[in-house]
Amino acid sequence: MVSIQSHRKDEHVSLAIKFYDKTSHAGFDQLRFVHQGIPEICLDDIDTSTTIENIKMDFPIYIEAMTGGSEYTKKLNQKLARIAKSTGIAMATGSQSVALKDNSVASSFKIVRETNPNGIVFSNLGASADVLRAKAAVKMMNSNAIEIHINTPQEMIMPEGDREFNWIKNIKSIQEELACPVIVKEVGFGMTKETIQQLVDAGVKNINISGKGGTSFSKIENYRRKKQEMDYLEDWGQTTVESLLEAQPFKDKTNIIASGGIRTPLDAVKAIALGANSVGIAAPILYSLIKNGEEETIEFINDFIYGMKSIMTMMGAKNLSELQSKKLILSSDLLSYVSQRGLPY
């Protein structure tokens, strides 16, 4: 018999595909680079490497947390792991909480490490998890790092979701006691400078601002409600671009990661120019895998990396540090947001 949690995992995948939009709504269209006509650089000069603490990544993109916890999602995770192995990018799984409650589905996560034994793999748990559960999640996949997700709106809309959100103590303890890097991430609702400050004060070294504009878990969870009456929250949160602007004061204090509505190489490069050191991509990869298969998804990722390198060449930026020195032109709406929020860009 399939558990409620496993059924929910399958629902999340099917609804993410149902609501997938190839157009980003994360605010990247409100940013422009200033074209550099004589970049004085070659494509072969481009270095896309980045780090998350002691983890060296050849490319600044990775497969963001999506799934696991059922037989169907086990097959997806195995395919995603093969894709990550082939392309040389890192991969995060969906929340492992279901596997910590029901060991029979742990294989849907373990399959990632079994398939990609030498790859970079991130575990994932909610912020209600304690240190012991976080250590167990990392051990389950012999992970290189762990993502701890915060997702209040999703939980409030989810019929069976949590209703208590006292998270900082757990986050601080996990950060202090785990040997591997800890990444605290949103799930598509974005972050403010106040939230980022809370995390920095708790000692968090890696923050994924995961903004609005891609997969909407408020929309997914509302669809799962009998009356679907909470659609007024489907637009809740800050976009990825707004969240990156909120993160400007903290670029030298913590490692900023971006996700949420990353649809094109240009989106990813803009996110890095705004201060992100790596970029998570979820829905486009999942959609490509389900609709087009593994080989085309591998091609999609390789083309994505080439596109990023092409833009960096056009900008005369041979590495991520040089790219982050390039200023972007902001739309009037973004300038208004920056002004009203008192942000230093």
- How confident is the model over 211-230, as pLDDT tens digits? 999 999 999 999 999 999 99
According to the model, what pLDDT value does residue 233 have?
96
Binding-site residues from annotation for substrate: 8-9, 154
According to the model, what pLDDT value does residue 2 have?
62
Nearest to 26 by CA among 320, 336, 306, 270: 270
Alpha-carbon span 163 to 282, nearest angstrom: 26
Residue with tokens 């995390």: 199
CATH number for the domain spanning 176: value is: 3.20.20.70
- How confident is the model over 85-96, as pLDDT tens digits? 999 999 999 999
Alpha-carbon span 258 to 243, nearest angstrom: 9
According to the model, what pLDDT value does residue 231 have?
96
Q: How many domains does the chain have?
A: 1
DSSP 34: P
pTM, rounded to two decimals: 0.96
- How confident is the model over 120-161, as pLDDT tens digits? 999 999 999 999 999 999 999 999 999 999 999 999 999 988
Binding-site residues from annotation for FMN: 65-67, 95, 124, 185, 210, 215, 261-263, 282-283
3-state SS, residue 57? strand
Alpha-carbon span 316 to 39, nearest angstrom: 4
Alpha-carbon span 145 to 75, nearest angstrom: 22
> Which residues of the chain are modeled with pLDDT < 70?
1-2, 4
- How confident is the model over 182-198, as pLDDT tens digits? 999 999 999 999 999 99
3-state SS, residue 27? coil
Single-letter code of the amino acid located at 185: K
Q: What are phi and psi of 340, to 5 degrees?
A: -65, -30
Binding-site residues from annotation for Mg(2+): 155
Residue range(s) defining the domain that contains residue 278:
4-341
DSSP 64: -
Q: How many residues does the chain have?
A: 345
Alpha-carbon span 87 to 301, nearest angstrom: 7
Binding-site residues from annotation: 8-9, 65-67, 95, 124, 154-155, 185, 210, 215, 261-263, 282-283
Task: Tell the burial category of 23 from Cβ atoms under 10 Å away from its Cβ (0-12, 13-18, 19+).
Answer: exposed
Chain-centroid distance, C-alpha 202? 21
